[in-house]
Structure formats: structure tokens, C-alpha cells
Amino acid sequence: MATTDLDTTTTGSRTPDNGWRQRLGRWDVKASPYIYIAPFFLVFGVFGLFPIVYTAVISLMDWDTIRNTGSFIGMDNFAYVLQDRKFWVALRNTFSIFLLSAIPQLLLSTFIAAMLDNNLRARTFWRMGVLVPFVVMPVAVGIIFSQLFADNSGQINDWLGMVGVDPIGWHKEVLPSHVAIATMVNFRWTGYNALILLAAMQAIPRDLYEAAAIDGAARMRRFLSITIPQIRPTMIFVIITATIGNLQIFDEPRVFDTTGTGGADQQWLTITMYMYNTGWGQLDFGRASAIAWLLFLIIVVFSLLNLLITRKFISSSDSTGGK
Amino acid sequence: MTFSRRKTSLGLAAGTAILALTVAGCSSSPDDDTSPGASATDSTAAAEREAVTLTLATFNTPGYNSIEQPDANYEFDLLAEYQKLNPNVTITYDRKAESGDARTNFFAKLGPGGLADVEMVEVDWMPEVMQYSDLLADLTDPALDGRWLDSKVADATDAEGRLIGAGTDVGPQAVCYRSSLFDEAGLASDPDGVAALLEGDWANFFDVGQQYSDATGKAFFDSTGGIWQGMINQIDPAFEDADSGDIIALDNPEVKAAYDQLTAAAVDQSSQLGQWTPDWTAGMADGSYATMLCPPWMLGVISGSAGDTTDWNIANVFPNGGGNWGGSWLTVPGNGANVDEAKMLADWLTAPEQQAKAFANAGTYPSQPAAYEDPLVSSASNDFFNGAPTGTIFADRASAVLPSPFKGEYFFQVNTAISDALTRVDEGTDNAADSWTKAVSDIQAIG
């Protein structure tokens, strides 16, 4: 249809005296952009919006997913979840793992990107090299790391023993288990983020650095006053995606032990695992949907918060008038 | 045990080698009427039957066809055999790596449709499946009376008396132990001696364990999780009232008594290693513990993890009666396109002759007593376990298993809460009393 309209339009514009062709032409100019973006929104509607709305409906019901029936129970599912001890433990764990992974990850990937931004020999090799961990399946990473972090027979505790540190209960204590899981996340994502930041760094006009160098700015000064402000939009992108990704962390904690339920004392139960356990474990999809919506709200709030903080923080050192 | 078994599946799903071995335990297999009449009927009917393609969905290694374990090279190909007997049938075999995958798939498609014509279900999620027994075809048939162990039939029969699962394998438990460690402790170490030593109730088991721990300073059994599964499956009713479905776990003095008995004994006697953790697996070889409760499929796990040891053996005994860990059924979803043909396939695959062959293929122990007489089963022995006559040991153990206690829709959640409590005590996160308090609040939140 769109094709036909286009042809008509082309002809129409050459013969302005023809009224209906003119109208078609105007209509085309106005409507075409919408038609071109419509497929995206159709697909989004079916696979994105509909599930979100459907989840909201189910979260208000005592839902039997197998018989596809349920009864309306109002906010009971939300009330149950908010009263459940495990929800709050899961929330604590999720944020703890988020902080332990996002902060070191960001610092490290900025550092790596800055290093890669130099004139290295075999540049492509190094740049591709940092991406290798990203290619490894998360579940494979999880299995390898959970063996490394095994409490008695794991290599990490062996190495710690060599330097005189007592074995750490990676699968028993709360904070060590979060550190172990954050290590997996960092292993996987640091290189990826470094490449994104590197791309941003390479887009910075080199004459800015030259001018600064002539003015006597040292390396560190140039990095802080030119590089960081210039990559701010990319930095915000990386922070927001890391926030969303880390708040939904699932694969790594799930394969951290063989039961996959977050530890006997919920030491490393995250929100998404709690949701999965409720849905597929207990077959209670009403409550699982309520958890999904709570997680959605948490992510929205937290992403906005991060955006504000990042903007404020980075723009304060923005002396070059960058975006 | 059910519980741990399921956890196993989840964890291992990730694909560890252990998982693969474990999986072997859950297979299923067919049984059909032993009467020669059954097959005769089949062939006669075959002439008039329309050509159909049946899908068969299983998990782990039921022992039906070599594609389950290309390295193992099965002696019998049951699927080819059935297609030869029934020329109108073509079987498409869909095997999932492990039980957790199959469970997710089963519940995702049970309502809307799309399941295979014959679906294997594991004992761990059977109580959940029973809530939807009306969506599965009724397999009741007078010709099938007496084919299975009573407990196998009881667990797959719903309140209306419909049989919705044809039993494949079971996991009757014996006690696996290391003779050199028993020697070290000055205890009897031959299989008969150990069986005599452990004959009795759980108090006796823990007494022997205390003797062992006092003599050696080491742990007697592998994990509280494994022992708990053995204990809880002997308590009836355990967590829920069979009539009302209410959770009675906290009002049931037997449950708390078993918890107290186990946590008290565990202080000295448990290796405090969680089941299926790498440390637990390593413990089979390094002597961290001297015994573990073992169903037939566990033998492969032990021999695979402790290949260098030479002193593992099997005692034909189980504390306080019998115990079952693992096992499966074949079910026929009621909305399938070929329900009648699917029932015939499930019937044939679960006949004693076929299950005996599946046992020979993959070590899945039959739930059909008639199969225990089959030389393929009765003459089986295990070289790694110093020639233990596994065929006769597990036949004895299977006859000791009583129908499992009532398990309703909350069984798993309650059992998880208590299993987690035991693990917390093992790991030293909480003492026994504090850990029970947490379990109580978790159980009160259920429902």
C-alpha cells in the first residue's frame, strides 16, 4: 500500500491542479513516517506492551496458569509479597550485588578504555581481547566460577591459604557470596563496557588534547577535564544499562550452587530469582507477576535517580561545554 | 528425598557431569502386561490401525534408545522394537537433559496444549501434576492390576480413582558405605555385618554413627539433606492433612522430633556438606563421610566421582523400614491427538519385560515386581561396589517401601523451608533452635 501511495504522490506533486492527488500527496507527507515506524510499534505492542499489561492484570488475580483461569483478589498479591521476609532479603541482595558489580566495573572499564585509547601495537587484538569474556555463556561462567569459589575444594580458598588467609565461606556468608557473584558479572561485562566507552573516547576531537597539552595540562588533567566530560552521554548510557541489567541479575546467582534457589538462608537470593521461584517453583504466577511489577517500578525509580546523579556529578566538571 | 532430588535437577541442569549421572536414575520404562495375549492383541489391531506419529518426551536416561547416551551403546533399542511390532507407528523421541527442564515444559503446555503424546513425569513434581489429573488420560485397565509396586500405583492415582501415570522406574534405597572406614572405626565392615549393625530405627542408625564418630573423629553420613529425605518420607501424615489439605507441619510433633533427632546427631556425624555441592562430590573419594543413603541410580554417581576408591559397598538395609528416592511415570495428556495410540505405547514401555531391558541399558530400576525375576535384573551385580548383587539387594529394598505419605500442593514449599533450616544448621549460619524459628515463619507464610 505504501508503495502505491508513494507513486501516486510523486505524480501528484507534478500536477498541482489535480485536487485529490494533491490531497493524497499531503496525506502521504504527513502519514508516511508513521507508517514506516508502525512495524516497530506493532511488534513492541505484541511482544512488549501486551505482556506488561497482561502481567499487571494477572498480578491482581489468584491465577492458575495451567487452567488459564483466576479470580480477582485485588492487591492481595502485592500485600503478600511486601510482607514476605524473603522479598526484602532479595531486595537487599540485589542492591548489594549491584553496587559490588556496577562500581568496580565502571571504574575498571573506564580505565581499560583509556588505556586502549593510546597508540598500542596490535590495537585490534587488544580491543577484541577485552571482549572475549563477553562471548562466554553466562551459565558456563557461573559453573566455572562456582567451582573456583567452592568452600572447601575451591582454588580461590587454596590461593588465600597460601597467603595466610583463612578459608572464606563463599556459599555460606552473605557478603562473600555477593562478592563472588559480582566477580562473575564483572568478568563478563567489564570488557564490553570498556569497548563502548572506548568508542566514545575515540570520537573526541584530538585537537582538544593538543590544545590542552600546549597549555601545560598533564595526562591526568587532560583525562579528567577533557575525556570524562566528553564521554558523558555514553557514560550515562552505560550506567543506565548496567543499572537495568544488574537489578535483573539472574543467571549468575542461579548457577552459583546446585539448588539454584539462592542459598538456605537466602544469602544470594535476588529479586528475579525470587520471582522465578515463585512462578515456576511454586506455580504461583499471580504473586510472581506482582513481584515483576514491583521490580519494574524499582528499576524505573532507580534509573531516574542514577540519571540525575550522573548528570549532576559529571556536568560539574564539564568545562568544555560538551553536551 | 524428593526434595533434594529436585534441587539436584535444577542445579545440575547447568550441565555438570554429575547431573548426567544423576539423571540416569530417573528414567522410566515400560511395562506391559506379562500375558502373551497383550501383544497378540496389539498385532491384530495393528492391521486396522491408522498410521500415526507419536511423540515421546522424557528426560535424563530412561534407557529406551541409545541416543540418550551415545557413548553407552545400549544393548536394546526399545523404540525400534515397538515400531517393528506396530508398523503403523512412528515414534519421535524428544529427550530433555534433566527433570527441571521437563517440569517447566510440562506445566507451560499442560493447559494450552502442545505436549508430547507421552510425557514422562518425575516423582518430585508428581504431587503438583496430581492437582491437574483431570487433564491427563485415565490409564486404568484391569489388565494392569498387579503390574506395579503398590506405592507406585498409589502415588499416581487421584481421588476419583483414575490412574494417570504408568510407572517406569523406582529408587528404593539401601545404605552405601566404605568398608575400610568401618574397619578403621572397629565396626563390622562386610555387607551382612553392616546390614545387621544398621537394622533398626533411626535412633540405632545414629547410635552406630556416634560410635563411628567417637572412634575416628570423622563424619558418619554425607549430609543432613539426604538423611532428612529418608526420615520425612516415613512420617505419615507429614506436612498436610490429607482430607482438608491444611498445613499441619507445625502441629505435627513427629516432624519436630525428627528435626531435633537429626540436628542433634548431625553435630558429630554429618559431614555438613550440602548435597550436590562440589565438596560433597569430592567427599565420596576423600573419606569425608563413611555412609550415604543410596538408590540404584546413585551407584553411578558414586563410582563416577570416586573412581579411585576400592572399598565402597552396599548394605541391604534401610533404617526404620524402607525409603524411595526418585522414579518416574509415563503420562498421556488428555488433549493429545493420538490418546489411544499413546496409551498403548505407555502401556508397552512400562511392561516388566521392557523395563528389565531399560534397566540393562541404563540402570533404571523397575517399579514392576515381575521384572525382578527377569535375569537381566536378578543377576545384576556391580563391580565397583565389590560385586554387590544389586539386582537382589534393591528387590528387597523395593519391597520394604511403603506408599509415600500424603503430599499435597504445599509439600515442596514446606519441605524446602525445613531443608533450608537443616542446611543453615550444617553451615553454621544458625543454631538448631534459631533455624527452626526461621523455618516456622517461612512455613506460616505459605498459603
Q: What is the pLDDT of residues B198-252, one digit of tens each?
A: 999 999 999 999 999 999 999 999 999 999 999 998 998 889 988 888 899 999 9
Q: Tens digits of per-residue pLDDT, A232-278? A: 889 988 988 998 889 999 989 998 887 788 988 999 999 999 999 99
- Same-domain pairing of B207 and B307: yes
Q: Report the relative pairing of strands B118-122 and B324-331 from DSSP bridges.
A: antiparallel
Residues of chain B contacting residue A154, judged by C-beta atoms under 8 Å apart = 278
Q: What is the pLDDT of residue B196?
A: 96
- Same-domain pairing of B147 and B207: no
Q: What is the pLDDT of residue A291?
A: 96
Cell of B435: 533455624
Q: For B411, which residue in chain A has the nearest alpha carbon?
A: A282
Task: Report yes or no: A264 at the B interface, CB cutoff 8 Å.
Answer: yes
- Same-domain pairing of B333 and B366: yes
**What's the mean pLDDT in B68-95?**
91
A169/B427 CB distance under 8 A: yes
Cell of B275: 548435597
Say yes or no to pLDDT of A164 above 80.
Answer: yes
| SS3 state of residue B55 | strand
Q: Is the peptide bond before B237 cis (omega within 30 degrees of 0)?
A: yes
| SS3 state of residue A182 | helix
Q: Tens digits of per-residue pLDDT, A270-301? A: 999 999 999 988 888 999 999 999 999 999 99
Residues of chain B contacting residue A67, judged by C-beta atoms under 8 Å apart = 111, 132
Measured CA to CA, the distance from residue B92 to residue B97 in angstroms comes to 16
pLDDT band of B25, cuts 50, 70, 90:
very low
Task: Report yes or no: A261 at the B interface, CB cutoff 8 Å.
Answer: yes
Residues of chain B contacting residue A259, judged by C-beta atoms under 8 Å apart = 7, 10-11, 274, 276
Q: Is B431 exposed, middle or buried (0-12, 13-18, 19+ CB in 10 A)?
A: exposed
Which one of B104, B282, B424 has the shortest CB-CB distance to A265?
Answer: B424
Q: Report the relative pairing of strands B89-96 and B52-59 from DSSP bridges.
A: parallel
**What's the mean pLDDT in B79-96?**
94
A283/B276 CB distance under 8 A: no
B412/A255 CB distance under 8 A: no
Say yes or no to pLDDT of B351 above 60.
Answer: yes
Q: In chain A, which segments carry CATH 1.10.3720.10? A: 77-315
Q: Which residues contact A81 (CB under 8 A, 6 or more apart)?
A: A87, A287, A290, A291, A294
Say yes or no to pLDDT of A8 above 60.
Answer: no
Which one of B282, B413, B430 has the shortest CB-CB distance to A153?
Answer: B282
The mean predicted confidence, pLDDT, of chain B is 86
Q: What is the pLDDT of residue B303?
A: 87
Cell of A131: 571482549
B279/A153 CB distance under 8 A: yes
Q: Which residues pair with A64 in a beta bridge?
A: A69
**What's the mean pLDDT in A26-46?**
91
The reply to whether B282 falls in a domain is yes
B279/A169 CB distance under 8 A: no
The reply to whether B296 falls in a domain is yes
Task: Report yes or no: A142 at the B interface, CB cutoff 8 Å.
Answer: yes
- Same-domain pairing of B268 and B237: yes
Backbone φ and ψ for B270, nearest 5 degrees, come out as -90, 140
More confident residue, A28 or B48: A28
Say yes or no to pLDDT of B293 above 90.
Answer: yes
- Same-domain pairing of B338 and B295: no
Spacing of C-alpha B339 from chain mean position: 27
The reply to whether B15 falls in a domain is no
- Same-domain pairing of B32 and B114: yes
Measured CA to CA, the distance from residue B413 to residue B93 in angstroms comes to 33
A67/B8 CB distance under 8 A: no
What ipTM was predicted for this assembly?
0.75
Q: For A170, which residue in chain B has the nearest alpha carbon?
A: B427
Q: What angle do CA A285, A287, A290 make, to 5 degrees?
A: 110
Task: Report yes or no: A46 at the B interface, CB cutoff 8 Å.
Answer: no
The reply to whether B183 falls in a domain is yes
Nearest by Cα to A177 from A248, A107, A265: A265
The reply to whether B12 falls in a domain is no
B11/A258 CB distance under 8 A: yes
| SS3 state of residue A154 | coil
- Same-domain pairing of B73 and B92: yes
Q: Tens digits of per-residue pLDDT, B9-19? A: 433 333 343 33
Measured CA to CA, the distance from residue A50 to residue B368 in angstroms comes to 49
Lowest mean pLDDT among A79-83, A147-151, B117-121, B134-138: A147-151
* Cβ pairs bridging A and B (under 8 Å): 94
- Same-domain pairing of B94 and B148: yes
Domain limits for position B31: 26-170+327-378
**What's the mean pLDDT in A123-149?**
87
A264/B429 CB distance under 8 A: yes
B15/A85 CB distance under 8 A: no
Q: For B281, which residue in chain A has the nearest alpha carbon?
A: A153
Task: Return the residue matching grid coordinates 545387621.
Answer: B196
Measured CA to CA, the distance from residue B411 to residue A185 in angstroms comes to 35
- Best B121, B277, B409 residue to mutate vs chain A (most A CBs within 10 Å): B277
Sheet architecture: strand order including B52-59: B89-96, B52-59, B118-122, B324-331, B166-172
Task: Report yes or no: A154 at the B interface, CB cutoff 8 Å.
Answer: yes
Q: What is the pLDDT of residue A123?
A: 86
Residues of chain B whose beta carbon is less than 8 angstroms from a beta carbon of chain A are: 7-8, 10-16, 104, 107, 110-112, 128, 132, 135, 273-279, 282, 412-413, 416, 419-424, 427-430, 438, 441-442, 445
B107/A283 CB distance under 8 A: yes
Say yes or no to pLDDT of B36 above 50.
Answer: no
The minimum CA-CA distance between B107 and chain A, rounded to whole Å, is 7
The reply to whether B383 falls in a domain is no
A66/B135 CB distance under 8 A: yes
More confident residue, A12 or B157: B157
More confident residue, A172 or A317: A172
Residues of chain B contacting residue A152, judged by C-beta atoms under 8 Å apart = 273, 279, 282
The reply to whether B17 falls in a domain is no
The minimum CA-CA distance between B278 and chain A, rounded to whole Å, is 7
As a whole number of Å, the CA-based R_g of chain B is: 22
Q: What is the pLDDT of residue A10?
A: 47
- Best A58, A64, A66 residue to mutate vs chain B (most B CBs within 10 Å): A66
Residues of chain A contacting residue B124, judged by C-beta atoms under 8 Å apart = none
Measured CA to CA, the distance from residue A301 to residue B413 in angstroms comes to 32
Query: What is the tally of structural domains in chain B?
Result: 2
Amino acid at position B114, single letter: G
| SS3 state of residue B271 | coil
Which one of B11, B276, B423 has the shortest CB-CB distance to A264?
Answer: B423
| SS3 state of residue B294 | strand
Q: Tens digits of per-residue pLDDT, B152-163? A: 998 899 989 999
**What's the mean pLDDT in B416-431?**
89
Say yes or no to pLDDT of B32 above 80.
Answer: no
Q: What is the pLDDT of residue A89?
A: 95
Which one of A153, A172, A260 has the shortest CB-CB distance to B11?
Answer: A260
B274/A66 CB distance under 8 A: no
- Same-domain pairing of B150 and B184: no
Q: For A254, which residue in chain B has the nearest alpha carbon?
A: B11
Task: Report yes or no: A148 at the B interface, CB cutoff 8 Å.
Answer: no
Q: For B424, which residue in chain A has the nearest alpha carbon?
A: A264
Say yes or no to pLDDT of B66 above 70.
Answer: yes
Q: Tens digits of per-residue pLDDT, B364-423? A: 999 999 999 999 999 999 999 999 999 999 999 998 888 777 888 788 889 889 999 998
Task: Return the residue matching grid coordinates 528387590.
Answer: B395
- Best A258, A269, A280 residue to mutate vs chain B (most B CBs within 10 Å): A258
Q: What is the pLDDT of residue A309?
A: 84
- Same-domain pairing of B295 and B433: yes
Q: What is the pLDDT of residue B213?
A: 96
- Same-domain pairing of B114 and B220: no
* CATH classification code of A77-315: 1.10.3720.10
The reply to whether B225 falls in a domain is yes
- Same-domain pairing of B255 and B279: yes
Q: Tens digits of per-residue pLDDT, B438-447? A: 999 989 988 7
Residues of chain B contacting residue A65, judged by C-beta atoms under 8 Å apart = 107, 111
